[in-house]
Structure 1
Amino acid sequence: MIGRLHGRIVERRPPFLLLDVNGVGYEIETPMSTFYVLPEDDAPVTLHTHLAIRDDAHVLYGFASAADRSLFRALLKVSGVGGKMALAILSGMTAAEFSLTVQAADVAALTRLPGIGKKTAERLIVEMRDRLDKLEGTGLPVAGEAAQAVAPPAESAGEEAVAALLALGYKPAEAQRLVRAVAAEGMGTEEIIRAALQGAAGKGK
């Protein structure tokens, strides 16, 4: 089992990145909460990892903190929740926000995340309530408010943001709508994604 990797980022395609570890490139899927705190390319970074072995592929997930990885693993134990959905949850809200959402039994907040219907949201609340008490590190800072839209983004940044939202489970029309609603001139891909996810979660209202 690969539990941790230390290397340098050589490619970013949110929510994917390529990490060079002593000349070996590891393709890693990460939640956007990890992307937001990554250093510049070529700077050393350590990621806590989880390897998922399926019949058709081996998928490596990476997290900036052990707490995020613990929450990811706890989510995988919930019936009906796979790696893609768990990644979308950690991209759409911080561990602290997820904890508060579960404690408040806020079904509506969870159903705003891609791929989560009412039944799945209710299952998450019931099954995660007790598990969260055993997890450490849920007191993470809440992300800032989304940027106000004033102009379209650069074409490449906007397209990359849409592609990232599609990878997280959003439907094409919804991904494009979210990006258009928050895009501002000069914003980078990760800034657009952050603002789009905040808009999807209803933040800043």
Structure 2
Amino acid sequence: MIGRIQGTIVYKQAPDLLVDVQGVGYEIQLPMTCFFELPAVGSEVSLWTHFVVREDAQLLYGFNSMNERALFRQLIKAQGVGPKMALAIMSGMSANQFVASVQQGDVSTLVKIPGVGKKTAERLVVEMRDRLKDFAGTSPLENGGQSPEPAMMVAMDNPLDDALSALLALGYKPAHAEKAVKKVATADMDSEAIIRQALKSMV
């Protein structure tokens, strides 16, 4: 089990991250709420991780705090919720917002997340209400204050395309994602800003 990663950010394009740890590059996927808090390429980062082994792949998911990882682990225990849906849920709202929605039985907010229909949302409320009763909330770790010059950074050709790719990777339908991106994007926005505003517009 890989429980924590500390190294240098080599590449990032939402929701994917490549971290160099003493010459070994780890590919990690993060919820967008965690991704937005990452430092620049070339900076040191420390992430709590959850390792998933499948017959066809080995996947690593990253989080800025232990509480965020704990929520992810509770989500994938819920019936019908796999890692991809858990990632989408935690991208659409913060851990604290999700917990509040569950505790308040706010199904209408949960169904706005891609892949979460009314039955799934209702099941999440029922299954997770007791599990999250004592959830402490998140307290992201400091990711180091240094920001050296970016190293091995891959240039992004088009922030709109990058933002659209990120939303599709999170499970949003192409037409829905494209509409949200075009609605919020302006010429001076980078891909992360577009993704942030697109997610806000859809939840």
TM-score by length of 2: 0.89
For 1:64 and 1:76, how far apart are their aligned partners in 2? 18
The one of the two structures with greater contact order (alpha-carbon pairs below 8 A, sep at least 6) is 2
CA contact (8 A) 1:70 1:135 kept: no
- Distance in structure 1 (CA, Å) of the matches to 2:131 and 2:22: 37
CA apart distance, 1:138: 4.7
The alpha-carbon deviation at position 135 of structure 1 amounts to 2.9
Aligned residues: 188
Matched residue, 1:84: 84
Q: Distance in 1 between matches of 2:169 and 2:112?
A: 16
Deviations 1:143-164 (A, max 9, x none): xxxxxxxxxxx97100000000
Of 157, 165, 188, 2:167 maps to: 165
1:14 pairs with 2:20: no
1:185 CA displacement = 1.7
- How large is the RMSD of aligned CA atoms in angstroms? 1.4
Q: Is the 1:95–1:139 Cα contact (8 Å) retained in structure 2?
A: no
Give the drift of 1:133: 1.8
Which of 176, 198, 201 is equivalent to 1:199? 201
Q: Distance in 2 between matches of 1:89 and 1:139?
A: 18
Q: With structure 1 as the length reference, what TM-score do the two structures score? A: 0.88
Matches within 5 A, 1:20-59: 20-59=20-59
Check the 8 A contact 2:65/2:138 in 1, yes or no. Answer: no
Q: Is the 8 A contact 1:67 1:136 kept in 2?
A: yes
Asked if the contact 1:99/1:138 (under 8 Å) is kept, the reply is no
Distance 1:9 1:155, change over 3 A: closer
Identical pairs, percent: 54
Q: Secondary structure at the match of 2:61?
A: strand
Matches of residues 86-125 of structure 1 in structure 2 within 5 Å? 86-125=86-125
What letter is aligned with 1:61? Y
- Give unpaired runs (5+ residues) of structure 1: 141-153
Partner Cα distance (1:139, 1:198) in 2: 21
User: How far apart are the structure 2 equivalents of 1:7 and 1:89?
Assistant: 27
Measured against aligned partners, the alpha-carbon deviations of 1:97-147 in whole angstroms (never above 9, x if no partner) come to 11111111111111100001010000000111111124322588xxxxxxx
The superposition leaves residues 3-25 of structure 1 with CA deviations (integer Å, 9 ceiling, x where unpaired) of 00000111112101111111100
Alpha-carbon distance in 1 for matches of 2:139, 2:129: 15
The 4+ residue runs of structure 1 with deviation greater than 4 A are: none
Question: Is the alpha carbon distance of 1:22 and 1:155 closer, same or farther for their aligned partners in structure 2, counting shifts above 3 Å?
Answer: closer
